[in-house]
Structure 1
């Protein structure tokens, strides 16, 4: 079974169970993933590695984010081991273990990439699309940067970081880190773009909106988007890969109830795109333009 088939099969089991799936988001790890390391050789790229991994999956959407378990060997068993695992530069033996480290090849990088991937796919269950940068791009590979003092202080060790904390206090340390990053060109790609943050800010799963008769609409002929509750975010997404191509955000106190998509912008992307709309009450519309 491929990733889509695995996700669909597990999703159907959840829907057909007595679990209240309409009120729950599920994060699942598939225990039957099997990496066939005996078939590995040095010329394999990442796509080839996936081919020798049975029941591999990293897919999220709807109410389910599902992951294979071939790389859980790189994960800590307790919270106290998290920093130690991120710092682990042991080279992965690819004849025995799957290497999902974005070609970095270490246990710490494998933990970082796979943990970040979990966050990425879980965000898809809250209707976020793909972005060029940040967590919804490939920024999730660098999730370790939000945990390690060593990375934040440009290769300073943990003892030096701790001393700085004790001397400066958390607030001063944060300012110091930002300045040090700016000077050294250290980039932290662990963030959500503004349109993603706006979607989450008004998402029904993260708010206590009451059910209402407010309606969000899109007219494919006039390209007019409207909502009786007021618009908050509109995204134009690639129909094939979910990449956010354009976005319009309405975060002012004065609500905007309609917006006409600029024709010149639409023409740049042909006819295959998805119009994603969320309004002030968390109502979501996804219109596939063909």
Structure 2
């Protein structure tokens, strides 16, 4: 009898602890894991903690976690290979199981970088009692990226698309640090005078022209020299007013770069043990000295939740996702803390919409490089550059002017749903599609159906080997005159987006074993804009984008 079988037998006999999102023997390709579960026999002592022990190659670590009305959540970090996890409650109840951590074999990775401008010492803005060194910044960034990697997988799993996620740089190349320090030639004083889109464009070019430049990388960049200038005003400020007082600020994602400022980085944790306390930190932000990017909650914990959620959202744009009315690619990322916290200590639920709870506009932007593309493609190389999924190369990206960058407006566009009956070559709407977004967990964080399908077939989320060779001869074409899409590999998802703000007006998913090879796009929506973008992903993760007027 192997360990996994014996653990199952032991658990059935002695334990009232149940893990609800993992099974004994499961494998994951990411290191930071969120365990969720229930305890059916509770102790009258409500202060009792759940003890979580992890053993890997003879090394053991222990952490403690709150239990609320029988519910628990624990955040653990796995080591490569087999990890034996034991949960203990009141010394009498135990559950032991195994999780295996093995990164996927791929060259496609997400690379966290800490960008230090010329003339800057690399220390991010923070209160005097906070360690704001370069080393501290890298610890915060690397842990934040691991949390996003884990969240991506957990939310795809909840959507019914499997526990898929991207790999981080250090997992693909262990010789690289978890967060790479990038010394920019851009002077700090010049950087602090530049707008978000200009910073995005400059650092995008600089990264791609550096030794790190590769079509196999997507970068998450953090600017060390972000500086909130402060104010003497006592009145509440809008986010726009706050941003206007912040130099070298960015929250932009698209193509191969998601770029962020660091004015709230001091609210992020450096270790696993700090994650929950940081989310729950109700200390008010002092807006006269420090940036309040908390979704108007005004607390340090709110700043951590909103800014981490913003990174989650903007990274989604680098994976070709558009805006949605709700969910993570809407405004649903503010409540990120609710994923990790149990019970009444969770923050109150902010309205899940592209506008926040009190009607103030969203606190993020998205950039995209716009150009006409040839929509007939024989795809031999994954289209993974900083810019559109077209025939863009490193050379012409590096030569693009600032006018090539279009800042996405975050305003909502009213959506008219199409009729529910189409021909056999169009998508067959089902009740499961209509209801899929209602079945997410009670933390309010979820991928909408179209985003979940898009990511589940994306190149960065699947085993690369074997698919690349097949992609060489695959054909993907959109005929805008006939509104017909043809794919030899098979169509997995078609989205119609409003070109002015990236809002998905409608989507058509094909998740059967044999996908459609042809699709006639129904013209049954009425956006305000006269410019639309058709986005198509095929079975091998090739992505086609075609903007057209009508």
Q: Do structure 1's residue 285 and structure 2's residue 478 form an aligned pair?
A: no
Find the counterpart in structure 1 of residue 531 from structure 2. 272
Query: Aligned partners of 2:542 and 2:222: how far apart in 1?
Result: 30
Give the structure with the higher percent helix. Answer: 1
State which of 475, 498, 507 in structure 2 corresponds to 1:247. Answer: 507
Q: Residues 103-139 of structure 1: CA distance to partner in whole angstroms, max 9, x if unpaired?
A: 1111111100001111111111111111111111111
Secondary structure in 2 matching 1:273: strand
Query: Aligned partners of 1:154 and 1:84: how far apart in 2?
Result: 13
Q: Do structure 1's residue 76 and structure 2's residue 269 form an aligned pair?
A: yes
Aligned residues: 260
Find the counterpart in structure 1 of residue 203 from structure 2. 10
Find the counterpart in structure 1 of residue 450 from structure 2. 195
Secondary structure in 2 matching 1:21: coil
State which of 210, 216, 219 in structure 2 corresponds to 1:23. Answer: 216
Contact 1:237–1:245 at 8 Å: present in 2 too?
Answer: yes
1:153, CA displacement in angstroms? 8.0
Secondary structure in 1 matching 2:524: helix
Contact 1:215–1:283 at 8 Å: present in 2 too?
Answer: no
TM-score (norm 1): 0.85
Find the counterpart in structure 2 of residue 63 from structure 1. 256
Query: Aligned partners of 1:63 and 1:145: how far apart in 2?
Result: 29
Find the counterpart in structure 2 of residue 169 from structure 1. none
Q: Residues 64-91 of structure 1: CA distance to partner in whole angstroms, max 9, x if unpaired?
A: 1110000112112322111001111111
Query: Aligned partners of 1:135 and 1:231: how far apart in 2?
Result: 24
Which structure 2 residues correspond to residues 82-93 of structure 1 after superposition, within 5 A? 82-93=275-286
Contact 1:145–1:151 at 8 Å: present in 2 too?
Answer: no
Find the counterpart in structure 2 of residue 44 from structure 1. 237
Give the structure with the higher percent strand. Answer: 2
User: Structure 1 stretches of 5 or more lacking a match?
Assistant: 156-181
Find the counterpart in structure 2 of residue 178 from structure 1. none
1:213, CA displacement in angstroms? 1.4
Q: Structure 1 residues 52, 62: CA separation in 2 closer, same or farther (over 3 Å shift)? A: same
Q: Structure 1 residues 44, 153: CA separation in 2 closer, same or farther (over 3 Å shift)? A: closer
User: Structure 2 stretches of 5 or more lacking a match?
Assistant: 1-193, 349-437
Q: Structure 1 residues 259, 270: CA separation in 2 closer, same or farther (over 3 Å shift)? A: farther
1:8, CA displacement in angstroms? 0.5
Query: Aligned partners of 1:12 and 1:39: how far apart in 2?
Result: 38
Q: Which has the larger radius of gyration?
A: 2
Q: Structure 1 residues 226, 246: CA separation in 2 closer, same or farther (over 3 Å shift)? A: same
Secondary structure in 1 matching 2:263: coil
Find the counterpart in structure 2 of residue 232 from structure 1. 492
